[in-house]
Structure formats: C-alpha cells, structure tokens
Amino acid sequence: MSDRLLEIKDLTTSFRIKDQYYAAVDHVSLSVNKNETLAIVGESGSGKSALAFSIMRLHNRAKIEGHIYFHGQDIMNLPIGKLNKLRGNDMAMIFQDPLAALNPLMTIGDQIGEALLLHNKQLSKQDRQSKVVHLLKQVGIPRPEYTCEQYPHQLSGGMRQRVVIAIAIANKPKLLIADEPTTALDVTIQAQILRLINDLKNKMGTGVILITHDLGVVAEMADRVAVMYAGQVVEVTNVHTLFKEPLHPYTRSLLNSIPSTDQIKDKLHVIQGIVPSLQKMPREGCRFSARIPWIDKTAHESHPELRQVAPGHFVRCTCYQHFYFPDEIDKEVTAYGTFRG
C-alpha cells in the first residue's frame, strides 16, 4: 500500500478584493506521506496559512481550484457532511490563535469531549471524562480535572494553546496541520508540545504539516521542507539538504538571516523589502527578483517552474545558479581589490 497520505495538485486559492480575485496560493503542488513531517516556511504573507486553510477547506469566501487527494480520494468536491466527518477525525488542525479556535461558552472538558464524540458516538460519559483527563495530561496541563471545569478565558494563552492541541489530537488524526503551534508558548512548553506532535507521528504514523517561522523548529521536526514565497513554492527538499545545500536565493536568504553559534558571521543578512501584498504581487517572471536587485535580470526565467535538480530536490527559477550575497562582493573587493561581474 502506498505511503502517500496527501497529494495537493495545482492548488490555487484566490481572494476577492474589490472586483477582482488575487491568488494567495498560486498553483501549489505538494505531498505528505504517512509518518512524515513536511514543514512549510516563508515570511509573513507568503501564503502558508491560506494553503493550510485550503487543505482543510475552511475558507468560505475564497475561490479554490485544483485537487486535494486524501488517501487517494479527491476531497475538493466532497459534500459538506462527508467533509465535516473527515475534519476533526482524520484531518485536524492546530490554529495560530487559540482563543478564536475555542468556544467561549463551553467548558474545556465539554469541548474536548465533543471532539471525542465526533469519532465515537457510543463513548460513555465516564470513558469520555477519563479520555479528556488523559489528553489534558498528555499536553502537559498540571491539574486536568480542575481545568476540565474551566472556561477558555480563565486560562493563560499557553494553556489555551495546549487545549487546542488536545482537541486536535483527540481522535489521533491521520493528518495534522499545525499552523505556528508553539508561537504563543514559552520554550519549555514549546519543546513539550513539539515532542507530543513527534510522538503522534512516530506512534500513529500521522502525517504532519508544520507551518513555522522558526528554522530551529524545522531542523528539529521536519523530514522535508517546502519554502513558500509570494504564494508559490520556490524550493522543496529534505531537511538535511535544506540546511546543507540550499539553492533558491530566498531559502539562502532566510537561512542567512538566522543567528548561528557554529559559524562566525560578521553580520546577519537582512532580506531587503517585504513580501508584496496580493494586489501588488508580480504575476510574471521570478517573484523574488525585486528583492535581489543586484542579480542581473538575465539570470531569471520569464516563466519559472519548480524543477527537479536532484532526486527529491526541486527549485524554481534558474537565478539560483547566479546568486550571491552582496557582502560576498564587499569581501572580495576588500581582499582582492576586484569586483565580481
């Protein structure tokens, strides 16, 4: 049997602004296997959350085109009843904002209990209660029986996020999408939550899509990484290659902008500019070219596609073959009195 759990083909998600639709996710194709963590990285506005919401089919106003195969079945046209059964059961999502994900009028115990009932309607009240307590313990809540009786507003941000995670993992989903799951948490809790997601993956064979800004988390958790920029995937490879031999200028810029202890850097690289807004996003040519203006225009393709450059390693646009950082020139100028042309 195939290990392929999720296959996204040519997915485009567009939002309507005034009278026009603009693609926030632009022809994205990606896959996730069982027992695999695919990290999705990229700056704010690159389309990571829009992609996650599209996979869960949670956008109600966006136009979504393409295919999403879950266990080989295209779920794009699944009726809402079947889709609801899939969500929260086989596919679950941990949202960035825990407060928005919880019902303010229900106790924590009832909310987790409701998620459990979705999977097993026959579950007795007693079994439900003990499973809720077990889940709360799993996510590191110190007094689970007490927390069961509390409402979301009575918990700290970190505690609420742990409850959201308890709900997401309640039915041992086959696919877990975690959108910045630990941003709101302090480092010790963060490590605990990440371990929990890893345990779920290793013990249950869960496929995980992990959206994060934190490349340290990527290094620790991911098997493969997809780098997104301006709605497109610009590089996909395994985690080892991503850190050792990144190719796309954007990936290299992201990696070069993080502090490192094992490499002495004169100064961290700052990526010039910002991800353009949907309306201002260039729709032709290399979308990253405006942020690396020192690279000759001829280095970019006019219709850059994601191409395989080594087994399992995909890169968009040939500009990676000509890319260098400006301070590399500075150093050469100082050292040799020459300018690389």
Interface residue list for ligand ATP (CB under 6 A): 15, 24, 42, 44-50, 277-278
**CB of residue 156 to ligand ATP, shortest distance in Å:** 22
**CB of residue 341 to ligand ATP, shortest distance in Å:** 36
**CB of residue 334 to ligand ATP, shortest distance in Å:** 37
**CB of residue 5 to ligand ATP, shortest distance in Å:** 22
Strand partners, 67: 9
| 132 vs 211 by CB, closer to ligand ATP | 211
| 141 vs 215 by CB, closer to ligand ATP | 215
**CB of residue 24 to ligand ATP, shortest distance in Å:** 3
| 48 vs 224 by CB, closer to ligand ATP | 48
| 48 vs 316 by CB, closer to ligand ATP | 48
**CB of residue 45 to ligand ATP, shortest distance in Å:** 4
| 211 vs 295 by CB, closer to ligand ATP | 211
| 47 vs 88 by CB, closer to ligand ATP | 47
